[in-house]
Chain A
Amino acid sequence: MNKASTLKRILEIIPGGLSWSIIISLILLSFFYPICSAIIIISFDFYWIIRTVYLTTLLVMAHSRLFRQRNEDWLARCLGLSGNLGFSELYQIVIFPVYNEGVEVLRPSLAALSASHYPQEKIIVVMAFEERNIQAHDNALILEEEFSGKFGAYLSTFHPDGLPGESRTKGANATWAAKAVRKFLDTRGIAHEQVVISCFDADTCVDKEYFGCLSYHFLTSQKRHQASYQPMPVYNNNIWQAPSFARLVEISSSFCQMIESMRLEKFVTFSSHSMSFKTLVQIDYWPTNMISDDSVIYWKGYLYYNGDYRVIPLYVTVSLDVAYSNNIWRTMVVQYKQKRRWAWGVENFPFVVNGFIKNKNISLLNKLRRSFHLLESHVTWAVWAVILVVIGPLPMLFGGVFFSQTTIAYNLPKITGLLFKFTLLTSLTWIFLSWTILPPRPKGISWFKHVLLILEWIFVPFIILIIGSAPAIDAQTRLMFAKYMEFNPTLKGNKVL
């Protein structure tokens, strides 16, 4: 093993090693030094409450921005820009990497795109199929017949299987499609800097104002090419049909993304996102051998521009499918796998730190800050639910007679109980906000579902147990032992638009 490989392995071990060290240390402390463990638990609980209140406030702020901007006529604002800033020359490319999704998933995505409040002749759509999918060519033909005349250009690409240096990932397919688009643009003499590219999950249905909003922010941003543009993902496509469990998880995911949009210094691209095509070419496209291509693309930009690269939040929604299956157990498995795939974003840590080591132009402070944020977010994800739910009661259960007679043993459950009652207030805020982002109730869905949508929040503690920390621990442990994950798309339910 050479030096680079050794460093990579060490960096891969750090997040999982840290998470497991924290968990095991706290368990051992609960047995042998229960007072010390109780002090840590109370401190963590208090930290968690403050953090929850802080993040909920950010959520309210993000939600307020989203609602203020939801009825904005972005196209009119683009047209009203002084000096035009190049709007008339701007092209939008949309790539839909397709793994094995059928036309029933892809059709609504294209329909939403064609309904955009944006000049359709400026939109170039690329349906990026996998050659190994035997249905790919048939599906491509069906969709071409339906949609090829509705946009400025409509391309279907077929990514060959098993190219050298590639894994079976979404990024590899998207990169293949982006290279094909590059040829298309070059043959038509369209400058790369006049093009914004969006890479959407196959089930992404854009808001009709999305491209107007994206264009406005792109054109008005300083260093427009040194930024990615991140819409707010909501899981509204089939939210009325999805079971409570899956619905709650996805609403929470949307909220987390909205919160992140308020923390610009930590904000990283996630799922469907957009960026300058020029930059995409410069940074050599999406990674072709990593699962978390959506966030790695940000880090590639960050490293390429020596830290002068950012993510600009767009307070406009893109709607995706809730991942669920035909029974609760399978839904849990589907959700677990999806969250594990997201948690596999921990592979960014070795990638980024390795990049930082090679890059001499980013300040040490920035490198340390960003590395710490990245590591802290993944480790916290892996341990928080374990500490709150599993380790919290351990000192009381295994602390022994001496500990049970101490004041801290008496006060521990009372203090934690009181702190968690306080978090109920934040839960009420989340419940209210979740209600406001729901799409209109489709015909045939009872009004009682509205009530259910509120009552289902009582399942939150159960959900915390299932998908709170476990997927993150799983992903980090796999990375620790070099058991690399393969891309495994999430099973999505049918859309109802």
Chain B
Amino acid sequence: MLNFQRTRGLLFYLSVFLFCVGLPVILSFALGYKFNTHTLKFVKTGLIFVKTQPAGAKIYLNGKLITERSPASMHELLPGAYKLTLELAQHYPWKAEVEVEAGKVSRVDKVILFPVRPNLQQLNQEKFSSFRIDTEKKMIYYLDQEKKILYRSNLDANNFEDIATLPDKFMQINGWEVSADRKKLFIFNHHQISVIFFDTQMDDEYSASTVLLDYLQEKIADVFWHSDSYHLVVLTDKHVQVVESRLGAVPINLVELNKAQAVAFYDIKGDTLYFSDNQRSPDGSAYNNLYKLELSANLYSLERLFDQPFGAANYLQKEK
């Protein structure tokens, strides 16, 4: 037992020694102190922390290569300005002058190193007029006005398939969009809207034959799908309307517009239309206002509005 106690005593004093010697070293490192062997004094230093995207960049500090690669931290730097260069093969270098303060961390952690050759891929070689990306279903829809077809592929431009044929008499296409249920699309020009059902996904609920809606008196500016994939929200030079995507459907004028060239944005998640329109005040001043029209409630309530069409500004005044 005595031998054990002697060994224990040695261990104890060794532990005390380690603590007494190690703690000042650890604390001075943590606080950024460095012993200057020339002046035999402790000096307070700072550090630079570098993080890049992508990682692994070479780090040059005042032109001198550091052994570590990013992300890295350079400790015990005397206060002052440092020229920092970050280099990664096949990427543009990044340079800056970094100020180091005593006891402080200079963070250079939002560096993106851009590749010299961007990661550019040619997906296909087709003759299409326009396309839409469906990130949710990972699809690309292509519209070919010349051949009058709509086809699609996956995001890598593989697995092509024709899914709809456009009506022959529909010449100019100003805009188009696939419905949220991915079963149909609309195309429109200034005086026509056509809803075309996809050949591959027939739906018993709706007519599968193409719908054509003529707008002889009004000029169509924009069209949007309602989230129910059945109603269309139409912005013309005179009205904001909703119309069903069926043959013979009669548009409902929700709002009468003052401005012929209103612009609109439709938030399909909230079924909300944001649009601009003019308003002239009694003193003759003209305003360009932004309006918000919520269509998330069931559309029957909108039919009530149809009985008394009015301008957006008038509508709001009545509400007050």
What is A's interface to B at a CB cutoff of 8 Å? 38-39, 42-43, 46-47, 50-51, 53-54, 57-58, 61, 65, 262-264, 405-412, 415
Contact = CB atoms under 8 A, between A and B. Distances in A.
B105 A407 contact: yes
A58 B30 contact: no
Interface of B: 1, 4-5, 7-8, 11-12, 15, 18-19, 22-23, 26-27, 29-32, 45-47, 49, 73, 75, 103-105
Given A410-B73, A415-B30, A50 B47 contact: no
A410 B47 contact: yes
Nearest to B101: A405
Given A61-B4, A406-B104, A406-B105, A415 B11 contact: no
Contacts of B15: 50-51, 53-54
Instruction: Sort A-B residue pairs by CB-CB distance and give the 7 closest, nearest first.
Output: A407-B32, A411-B30, A54-B15, A410-B105, A408-B30, A50-B15, A50-B19
A264 B5 contact: yes
Given A50-B18, A407-B46, A410-B47, A58 B27 contact: no
A264 B6 CA distance: 12
A408 B31 contact: yes
17 contacts: A39-B31, A46-B19, A46-B22, A46-B23, A50-B19, A57-B11, A61-B7, A61-B8, A262-B8, A263-B8, A405-B104, A406-B103, A407-B45, A407-B104, A408-B32, A408-B103, A411-B30
Contacts of B29: 411, 415
Given A53-B15, A264-B5, A43 B27 contact: yes
Contacts of A263: 8
B30 A42 contact: yes
Dominant secondary structure at the A interface: helix
Contact of A407 (B5, B8, B47): B47
A262 B4 contact: yes
A39 B30 CA distance: 8
Nearest to A43: B23
A34 B250 CA distance: 71
Contacts of A415: 26, 29-30
A264 B46 CA distance: 47
B4 A65 contact: yes
B198 to A, nearest CB: 54
Contacts of A262: 4-5, 8
Given A43-B27, A50-B19, A51-B15, 6 more contacts: A50-B18, A264-B1, A406-B103, A406-B105, A407-B31, A415-B29
B157 to A, nearest CB: 47
Which has the most chain A C-beta neighbours within 10 Å: B12, B22, B26? B26
Contacts of B19: 46-47, 50
A213 to B, nearest CB: 14
Contacts of A50: 15, 18-19, 22
Nearest to B49: A410
A414 B116 CA distance: 35
Nearest to B8: A262
Contacts of A53: 15
B12 to A, nearest CB: 7
A42 B26 contact: yes
Contacts of B18: 50
Which has the most chain A C-beta neighbours within 10 Å: B1, B4, B30? B30
A142 B31 CA distance: 70
A263 B49 CA distance: 46
Contacts of A409: 105
Contacts of B26: 42, 46, 415
A47 B23 CA distance: 8
Contact of B11 (A38, A43, A54, A406): A54
Nearest to B29: A411
Contacts of B8: 58, 61, 262-263
B91 to A, nearest CB: 27
A47 B18 CA distance: 10
A412 B31 CA distance: 9
Contacts of A54: 11-12, 15
Contacts of A47: 19, 23
Nearest to A405: B104
A369 B49 CA distance: 48
A53 B217 CA distance: 90
Contact of B30 (A51, A61, A264, A412): A412
Which has the most chain B C-beta neighbours within 10 Å: A61, A409, A410? A410
B12 A42 contact: no
Contacts of A405: 104-105
Contacts of B7: 61
Contact of A42 (B4, B27, B105): B27
Nearest to A407: B32
A128 to B, nearest CB: 33
A412 B32 CA distance: 12
Contacts of B32: 406-408
Nearest to B7: A61
A461 B8 CA distance: 28
A407 B103 contact: yes
Contacts of B12: 54
A410 B15 CA distance: 27
A263 B4 CA distance: 10
B84 to A, nearest CB: 17
B6 to A, nearest CB: 11
A263 B5 CA distance: 8
Contacts of A51: 15
A204 B18 CA distance: 41
B72 to A, nearest CB: 12
Contacts of A39: 27, 30-31
Which has the most chain B C-beta neighbours within 10 Å: A39, A47, A61, A406? A406
Nearest to A58: B8
B30 A407 contact: yes
A410 B51 CA distance: 14
Nearest to B25: A46
Contacts of B23: 43, 46-47
A291 B296 CA distance: 71
Contacts of A411: 29-30
Contacts of A407: 30-32, 45-47, 75, 103-105
Which has the most chain B C-beta neighbours within 10 Å: A53, A61, A407? A407
Nearest to B104: A405
A345 B5 CA distance: 26
Which has the most chain B C-beta neighbours within 10 Å: A43, A50, A65, A415? A50
Given A46-B23, A54-B15, A38 B30 contact: yes
Nearest to B76: A407
Contacts of A43: 23, 27
Contacts of A406: 32, 103-105
A36 to B, nearest CB: 11
